[in-house]
């Protein structure tokens, strides 16, 4: 059985093929360009792969309502050309197989629960902090959907007392994404985060904003694991700073051993590494195939 997986990011697309054990057998990546160009490359990649289902974890916001006329679409994204682009419909014309569809971060959360750092757990929160900030949630073993899907990266956050940066989000200015995503770091310090030393004041401010959001997530969703992925989190020195701030923020109120005694095992890197999103898309494809199989 070969399952197709697509991690549709705002900066790059990653396409791959894997099996039901979560092993990625082949993959490639390419920059996210205009939809027609990008989806043509996706089609070309999968044309000879013989996949039995395809899962897509996409940047958003996206339409997740199966009875909606625009199901499978990216909706109000500021990324040029992608607004109202129906990704699922476009690819389904080329590949008449079951499709799984969710946000890239919900997919990554599913991948981590299925095969990664949260394997065996019912509740986790997954952050990707890179070009944007996304938050995926698994609660009671299921990805969180509702009116739409979680958009925690656009929640407003308490400001760091020494930070006067106005924020970059085109919708909200100083939401979490506007203050803590990679482009915000570069705009604030006139240098990409990858070029800033570990002792630069940027990281104290960055850890403040991420810890503020995690504290809220812990109090609101009570996750059994918090997983931090994305390009910004390649700065591994951020992890101890974030953990320390979360403990300070909670101030003993959440008296649970994973926080009070094992915080380094509670706020962690993705167990699936760079393939968390792709493995999550693979899991979405498997889910879609199982739904069709069980209904027949």
Q: What is the pLDDT of residue 21?
A: 94
CA distance 162 to 200: 14
Q: Helix-strand-coil percent breakdown of the chain, rounded to 5? A: 40, 20, 40
**101 — phi, psi (to 5°)?**
-145, 125
What are phi and psi for residue 210, nearest 5 degrees? Answer: -65, -40
* Cis peptide leading into residue 54 (ω within 30°): no
Residue 13: CB atoms within 10 Å: 23
Q: pLDDT digits over 208-247, tens only?
A: 999 999 999 999 999 999 999 999 999 999 999 999 999 9
Rounded to whole angstroms, what are the CA distances from 287 to 103, 110, 111, 144, 153?
Answer: 15, 11, 12, 15, 26
What is the set of domains in the chain, with CATH numbers? 3-106+274-295 (3.30.420.40), 120-269 (3.30.420.40)
Residue 93 CB partners (closer than 8 Å, separation 6+):
none
Strands (E) across the chain are located at 3-8, 12-18, 24-31, 53-58, 73-74, 85-86, 99-103, 124-129, 133-139, 142-143, 226-229, 267-268
pLDDT, position 147:
77
Centre a 10 Å sphere on the Cβ of residue 197 and count the other Cβ atoms it contains: 8
Closest CA to 233 of 202, 193, 266, 261: 193
Is 67 buried (19+), middle (13-18) or exposed (0-12) by CB count in 10 A? exposed
Nearby residues of 262 by Cβ (< 8 Å), 6 or more positions away: none
The burial of 238, by beta-carbon neighbours within 10 Å (0-12 exposed, 13-18 middle, 19 or more buried), is given as: buried
pLDDT value at position 136? Answer: 96
Q: What is the dihedral of CA 135, 211, 236, 32, to 10 degrees?
A: 30
Q: How many CB atoms neighbour CB 252 within 10 A?
A: 9
Q: What is the pLDDT of residue 146?
A: 76
Please list the ranges in the chain whose pLDDT falls under 50.
Answer: none
Whether 204 and 241 have beta carbons less than 8 Å apart is answered as yes
Whether residue 76 contacts residue 62, with contact meaning beta carbons closer than 8 Å, is answered with no
Sign of the CA dihedral 262, 249, 157, 196? negative
Strands 3-8 and 12-18: antiparallel
30, 120 in Cβ contact below 8 A?
Answer: no
Phi and psi, residue 213, nearest 5°: -70, -45
């Amino acid at each position: 059985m070969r399952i197709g997986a697509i991690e549709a990011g705002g900066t790059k697309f990653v396409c791959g093929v894997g099996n039901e054990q979560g092993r990625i057998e082949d993959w490639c990546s390419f920059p996210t360009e205009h939809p027609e160009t990008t989806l043509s490359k996706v089609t070309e990649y999968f044309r000879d792969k013989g996949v039995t289902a395809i899962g897509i974890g996409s940047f958003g916001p996206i339409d997740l309502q199966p009875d909606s006329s625009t199901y499978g679409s990216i909706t109000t994204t500021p990324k040029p050309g992608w607004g109202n682009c129906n990704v699922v419909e476009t690819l389904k014309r080329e590949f008449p197989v079951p499709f799984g569809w969710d946000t890239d971060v919900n997919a990554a959360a599913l991948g981590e629960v299925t095969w990664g750092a949260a394997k065996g757990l019912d509740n986790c929160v997954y952050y990707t902090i890179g070009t944007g900030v996304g938050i995926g949630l698994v609660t009671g073993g299921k990805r969180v959907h509702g009116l739409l899907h979680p958009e925690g990266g656009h929640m407003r956050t308490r400001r760091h007392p020494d930070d006067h940066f106005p924020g970059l989000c085109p919708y909200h200015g100083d939401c979490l994404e506007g203050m803590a995503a990679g482009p915000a770091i570069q705009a604030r310090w006139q240098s990409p985060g990858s070029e800033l030393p570990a002792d630069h004041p940027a990281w104290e401010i960055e850890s403040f904003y991420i810890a503020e959001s995690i504290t809220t997530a812990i109090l609101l969703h009570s996750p059994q694991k918090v997983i931090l992925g994305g390009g910004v989190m390649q700065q591994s020195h951020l992890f101890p700073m974030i953990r320390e701030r979360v403990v300070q923020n909670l101030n003993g109120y959440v008296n649970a051993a994973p926080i009070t005694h094992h915080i380094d095992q509670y706020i962690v890197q993705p167990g699936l590494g760079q393939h968390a999103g792709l493995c999550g898309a693979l899991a979405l494809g498997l889910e879609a195939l199982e739904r069709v199989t069980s209904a027949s």
